[in-house]
């Protein structure tokens, strides 16, 4: 069998003619990402082994984003040491507060990701970058330390599972719903250690934001990463964010060139809601029943891009958050925050009664800026709803897309957007019609 898309990328970065699943190879990644949590552990390991300067400063991106703004003195000291290490080692791609944001929104936005790139990051949701045709994986802090020393790391070449979508979903369905439904079909470990390569004609109608969301949550199915073969949407995004070169021929992919193919029929699919305590515990929003909400959370690395905030604002314009419900809006980056302000989206949120937080992972990981108390229930556009993920172990978190979340904030309970009086249409997306090349087209 010829190489899969990911195998081609790995072979290129291992300086080999070809590689295949199961082989162990040493690769030199284009980019290595660290945040202040994974990074500080790597730094400590680095120094314990007697090192004093990293191998290649240009290979690294440092992004403080988990406990920022600092939630307490300990977090402030961690961020300080992280910052000092970046300065001491000449790391130019260090993104301080006010100039950065949440890493998985920030890096593509800054033009640091491109098709065919190999990226390793000290965060499980590094897989987000597969939306641009990159092979991007999360690694541990000791792996980060090894990369600091040598600039390279071994990996086992993963198998690829092609997920092929057929049919046309119902209105209000977004990328978040497609991945939640997929997780519900395959289970939380249905792609364990594999690559989820997404295919189907419907993908051509999805924005870059939807694609980032889908690849971001591939890890919730146990996958090493998710990836979408590059097309016109990919090309338009990278041109707008840095115009990185990539090789069309090297990144072409063929239907059936995988270790497993999963067909998913999404004909008539409704918006999905993941119930506690797994992203794979997904059901149609119409089947969720009466779930009152103490808090709604919109944004973060999964749904904190400008398109996501526009969708939420479309729902909230002229409406108010339910008096018994809190609504937190967290833009994914400082640039998204600024753009949302320029478009008047923040005014809509404030008028509706929402609180707008700075770009931070804070509440998503149960750190700060909106954690839940015992017995509280939240609906969130984040990627995980495990026990205690957003606060107290006796709290409950449901997951949805931004439009369902915004409508539910108004109702004070989980509802479908179309249940709101006077709301008849989903905000339209502008989809490029001319492709540099086409991924697999699968008709319904």
Whether omega for the bond prior to residue 69 falls within 30 degrees of 0, making it cis, is yes
Mention every residue, 6+ apart, whose C-beta is less than 8 A from residue 139: 120, 121, 122, 126, 147, 153
Mean pLDDT, 10 residues at a time, the chain of 444 residues: 91 96 98 96 94 94 97 96 97 96 97 96 98 97 97 97 95 96 96 96 92 98 97 91 72 78 96 98 98 98 98 97 98 98 98 98 96 98 97 98 98 97 68 32 32
| pLDDT tens-digit series, residues 362-386 | 999 999 999 999 999 999 999 999 9
Three-state DSSP at 198 gives: strand
Q: Which two tokens stand for residue 365?
A: 């990981």
Q: What letters, b where the CB count within 10 A reaches 16 and e where it falls short, cover 180-202?
A: bbbbbebeeebbeebbbbbbbbb
Which pLDDT score is estimated for 50?
Answer: 87
Residue 314: what are its φ and ψ, rounded to 5°?
Answer: -60, -35
User: Rounded distance, CA 84 to CA 80, Å?
Assistant: 6
- Least Cα distance to 33 among 132, 131, 100, 115 occurs for 100
Q: Say if residues 146 and 9 touch (Cβ distance below 8 Å).
A: no
Q: Is 163 left (phi over 0), alpha (psi -120 to 50) or beta?
A: beta
Cα-based angle 228, 133, 248 (whole degrees, multiple of 5): 110
Mention every residue, 6+ apart, whose C-beta is less than 8 A from residue 315: 403, 406, 407, 410, 417, 420, 423
- CATH assignment of 273-419, among 3.30.413.10, 3.30.930.10, 3.30.450.20, 3.30.499.10: 3.30.499.10
User: Rounded distance, CA 412 to CA 123, Å?
Assistant: 33
Three-state DSSP at 226 gives: strand
What is the architecture of the domain spanning 5-265? Answer: 2-Layer Sandwich (3.30)
Which pLDDT score is estimated for 439?
Answer: 38
- Strand 355-356 vs strand 326-330: parallel, antiparallel, or unpaired? parallel
User: Rounded distance, CA 418 to CA 404, Å?
Assistant: 9
H helix or E strand, kind and range, residue 301 = helix 300-303
Q: Which two tokens stand for residue 217?
A: 């949550």
- Strand 272-274 vs strand 282-284: parallel, antiparallel, or unpaired? antiparallel
- Least Cα distance to 295 among 206, 231, 357 occurs for 357
The interaxial angle of helices 208-216 and 232-240, nearest 10 deg, is: 100
Mention every residue, 6+ apart, whose C-beta is less than 8 A from residue 420: 315, 319, 407, 410, 411
Could you identify the residue written with the tokens 């189907």? 200
Mention every residue, 6+ apart, whose C-beta is less than 8 A from residue 376: 294, 295, 391, 392, 395, 396
H helix or E strand, kind and range, residue 63 = strand 60-63
Which pLDDT score is estimated for 244?
Answer: 67
Which pLDDT score is estimated for 102?
Answer: 98
Could you identify the residue written with the tokens 């949302």? 340
Which pLDDT score is estimated for 2?
Answer: 87
Write down the H helix ranges in 15-119: 36-48, 73-88, 103-109
For residue 156, what are the β-bridge partners? 24
- Which regions of the chain carry the CATH code 3.30.499.10? 5-265, 273-419
User: Rounded distance, CA 121 to CA 266, Å?
Assistant: 32
Q: pTM of this prediction?
A: 0.94
Which pLDDT score is estimated for 1?
Answer: 63
Q: Say if residues 303 and 402 touch (Cβ distance below 8 Å).
A: yes
Q: What letters, b where the CB count within 10 A reaches 16 and e where it falls short, cover 259-297?
A: eeebebebeebbbbbbbeebbbbbbbbeebeeeebbbbb
Sign of the alpha-carbon torsion through 245, 247, 248, 252: negative
User: Rounded distance, CA 438 to CA 441, Å?
Assistant: 7
| pLDDT tens-digit series, residues 222-236 | 999 999 999 989 999
3-state helix, strand, coil in the chain (%, to 5): 35, 20, 45
């Amino acid at each position: 069998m010829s190489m899969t898309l990911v195998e081609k990328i790995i072979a290129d970065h291992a300086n080999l003619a070809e590689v295949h699943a199961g082989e162990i190879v040493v690769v030199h990644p284009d980019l290595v990402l660290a945040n202040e949590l994974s990074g500080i552990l790597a730094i400590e390991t680095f120094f314990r082994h007697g090192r004093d300067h990293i191998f290649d400063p240009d290979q690294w991106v440092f992004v403080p984003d988990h406990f920022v703004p600092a939630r307490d003195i300990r977090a402030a000291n961690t961020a300080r040491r992280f910052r000092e290490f970046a300065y001491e080692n000449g790391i130019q791609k260090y993104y301080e507060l006010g100039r950065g944001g949440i890493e998985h929104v920030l890096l593509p936005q800054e033009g640091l990701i491109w098709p065919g790139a190999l990226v390793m990051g000290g965060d499980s949701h590094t897989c987000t970058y597969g939306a641009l045709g990159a092979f991007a994986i999360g690694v541990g802090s000791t792996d980060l330390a090894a990369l600091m020393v040598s600039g390279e790391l071994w990996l086992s070449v993963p198998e690829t599972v092609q997920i092929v979508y057929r049919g046309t979903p119902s209105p209000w369905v977004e990328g978040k719903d497609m991945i939640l439904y997929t997780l519900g079909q395959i289970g939380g470990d249905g792609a364990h250690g594999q690559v989820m390569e997404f295919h189907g004609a419907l993908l051509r109608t999805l924005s870059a934001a939807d694609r980032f969301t889908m690849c971001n949550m591939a890890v919730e199915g146990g996958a090493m990463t998710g990836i979408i073969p590059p097309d016109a949407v990919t090309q338009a995004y990278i041109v707008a964010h840095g115009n990185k070169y990539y090789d069309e021929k090297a990144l072409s992919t063929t239907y059936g060139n995988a270790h497993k193919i999963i067909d998913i029929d999404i004909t008539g699919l409704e918006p999905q809601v993941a119930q506690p305590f797994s992203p794979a515990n997904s059901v149609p929003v119409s089947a969720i029943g009466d779930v009152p909400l103490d808090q709604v959370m919109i944004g973060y690395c999964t749904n904190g891009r400008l398109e996501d905030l526009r969708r939420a604002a479309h729902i909230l314009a002229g409406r108010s958050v339910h008096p018994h419900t809190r609504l937190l809006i967290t833009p994914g980056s400082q640039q998204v925050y600024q753009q949302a302000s320029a478009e008047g989206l923040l005014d809509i949120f404030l008028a509706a009664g929402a609180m707008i937080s700075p770009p931070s992972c804070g509440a998503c990981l149960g750190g700060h800026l909106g954690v839940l108390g015992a017995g509280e229930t939240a609906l969130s556009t984040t990627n995980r709803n495990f026990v205690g993920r957003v606060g107290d172990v006796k709290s409950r978190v449901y997951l949805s897309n931004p439009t369902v979340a915004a409508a539910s904030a108004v109702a004070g309970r989980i509802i479908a957007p179309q249940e709101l009086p006077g709301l008849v249409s989903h905000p339209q997306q502008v989809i490029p019609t001319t492709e540099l090349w086409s991924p697999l087209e699968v008709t319904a």
